[in-house]
Structure 1
């Protein structure tokens, strides 16, 4: 397990990176650059997707094939989040697989509906396996302030905050409050999404401070 000092340094580096990324678009007067910064396929989104790839590569580097087969949810989760970040959920079907329209519209081929349903079934199986295998160990790690658990928690907080910012305007409209997202809130949402793989990578570094297999942790 990684030392507390090294873990703290990694976390501070991640926080500094997040702050810098939040401030960076406001250092330019170019409206075009500001729009590109948070656009689909822009630098923040690309780095977010690349971050998940880094997490997957680190896991595959440090685990044996036996460990990977036993702990497959740890690979599936960042893979799914990477594909989501790259909008793969909307590239292969008429509507996004997260939209109800895909499943109720008579104009959508049955193959696409089955594809969307299969994806959700696989994600559901992964979620159940993840909770069953790691939830108790995760809670125990939090109680003991273990670096791996704390880094995963930080990534989860980033995910929740980014989701809150993403749906704030639509959720408030339900109760009659019209709030339009600001440029800063959009930047914050995108940067927090980048924070997720950053902290997940820190969790992997904390679990595998030196090259080896899961059995040596």
Structure 2
């Protein structure tokens, strides 16, 4: 996990110290950080398959697939707006087929999240109680996802507070957001690798509690 923290910190510091045109490239859609994040999610999926963890980590696998789709902008790629915005469904200009696509995609997402929570929550609480590396990696991934969402759209959210941020400040927050998102797939891999190492000595289903 230390390597992930070093990686993320290095990328963030390099981005902050880079010239403004390089910062703009780094945080851009389809930029280096975004593609590194995509590669991270693909690596996590490959790891699950290679280590034969699909059985116990089935819903983690599908959550990772959805996160990969989100990183590839599947929530906007085939629609005229963000499907997570309520105005998308209220707009009379949005075609019915796009609304059906959006509802289906959101439905799958919430179903997978529900299965993740109901399948792994009890074991996750046990991991937290034991202060395991699995719990730490999972909490850091959840925290990174939550905080990156919190600072998404810094100019708009600063406007709610009556603040007019500078372009440089906006760039900094966008770099931080992209870097936090970069951490998520690699933290997933860390959690999976610790679980895999445990199964070598004490095999057991991920959802059914720890094997001692």
- Relative to 1, partners in 2 of residues 1:214 and 1:58: Cα closer, same or farther, differing over 3 Å? farther
Give the equivalent residue in structure 1 for 2:113. 127
- Relative to 1, partners in 2 of residues 1:167 and 1:109: Cα closer, same or farther, differing over 3 Å? closer
Give 4+ residue runs of structure 1 displaced > 4 Å after superposition.
210-214
Q: How many residues align?
A: 203
Structure 1 segments unaligned to the other structure (5+ residues): 1-10
Give the equivalent residue in structure 2 for 1:14. 4
- Give the CA RMSD over aligned residues: 2.4
- Relative to 1, partners in 2 of residues 1:168 and 1:143: Cα closer, same or farther, differing over 3 Å? farther
Give the equivalent residue in structure 2 for 1:196. 184
Q: Determine helix, strand or coil for the equivalent of 1:166.
A: coil
Give the equivalent residue in structure 2 for 1:32. 21
Equivalents in 1 of 2:21, 2:53: separation in Å?
A: 46
The offset of 1:87, in angstroms, is 1.1
State the TM-score, normalizing by the size of structure 1. Answer: 0.83
Equivalents in 2 of 1:171, 1:200: separation in Å?
A: 29
Give the equivalent residue in structure 1 for 2:128. 142
Equivalents in 2 of 1:28, 1:179: separation in Å?
A: 20
Q: Deviations over 1:120-179 (max 9, x none)?
A: 111111111111111111111011011111111111111122122225543343343444
1:176-191 map, 5 Å: 176-180=162-166, 181-191=169-179
Give the equivalent residue in structure 2 for 1:4. none
1:85 aligns with 2:80: no
Give the equivalent residue in structure 2 for 1:47. 36
- Checking the alignment, whether the CA contact within 8 Å between 2:154 and 2:174 is kept in structure 1 is no
- Checking the alignment, whether the CA contact within 8 Å between 1:95 and 1:102 is kept in structure 2 is yes
Give the equivalent residue in structure 1 for 2:82. 96
The offset of 1:192, in angstroms, is 0.8
Q: Deviations over 1:10-34 (max 9, x none)?
A: x1111111111012134444x4322
State the TM-score, normalizing by the size of structure 2. Answer: 0.85
Structure 2 segments unaligned to the other structure (5+ residues): 206-210
